[in-house]
C-alpha cells in the first residue's frame, strides 16, 4: 500500500512542494517543529534506513545536497539548521518512507533530552 509520501511524490495528494527532481521531492511539514521544517523524501520508496541498499548511496548524498540548497534558499544556512532521519518506532519514525527533516529558523536546543 502506498504511503502518504508516495502519493505526494506522484501528485496524488496536495503538498507545499518546494523542490522536486527525478530523485527527490521536498515539501513543507504540515506540523512544523520550527519556522522552517521541510521533508526531503526519495522518490523511490525506501521504508526505513534499515532498508537502504548499496545502490542507494548516491541518492542519500543527493538528499543531503538538496537539504543544503533548501537551507540556503530558506535563509537559514548561515545561522544553522538540523537534519534528522528517524528510524522505526524508537527513533520516532511516523511514516515508513525514508525522509530527511530540514529544521531551522530558530535556536533548536539539545538534540535529545538527556536523562
- Give dist(CA 114, CA 49) in Å, integer: 24
In this structure, how many other beta carbons lie within 10 angstroms of the beta carbon of residue 5? 22
Pick the catalytic residue from 37, 62, 90, 99.
Answer: 99
Give the position of cell 543527493: 62
Is 99 a residue of the active site? yes
> Residue 60, class by beta-carbon neighbours within 10 Å (0-12 exposed, 13-18 middle, 19+ buried)?
middle
**Partner residues linked to 37 by β-bridges:** 103
**Partner residues linked to 81 by β-bridges:** 104
The residues assigned a catalytic role are 99
Amino acid at each position: 500500500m502506498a504511503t502518504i509520501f508516495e502519493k505526494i511524490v506522484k501528485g496524488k495528494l496536495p503538498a507545499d512542494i518546494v523542490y522536486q527532481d527525478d530523485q527527490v521531492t521536498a515539501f513543507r511539514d504540515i506540523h512544523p517543529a520550527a519556522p522552517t521544517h521541510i521533508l526531503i523524501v526519495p522518490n523511490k520508496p525506501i521504508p526505513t534506513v534499515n532498508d537502504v541498499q548499496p545502490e542507494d548511496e548516491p541518492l542519500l548524498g543527493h538528499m543531503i545536497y538538496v537539504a543544503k540548497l533548501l537551507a540556503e534558499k530558506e535563509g537559514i544556512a548561515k545561522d544553522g539548521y538540523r537534519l534528522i532521519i528517524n528510524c522505526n518506532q524508537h527513533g520516532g519514525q511516523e511514516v515508513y518512507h525514508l525522509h530527511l527533516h530540514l529544521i531551522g529558523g530558530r535556536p533548536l536546543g539539545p538534540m535529545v533530552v538527556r536523562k
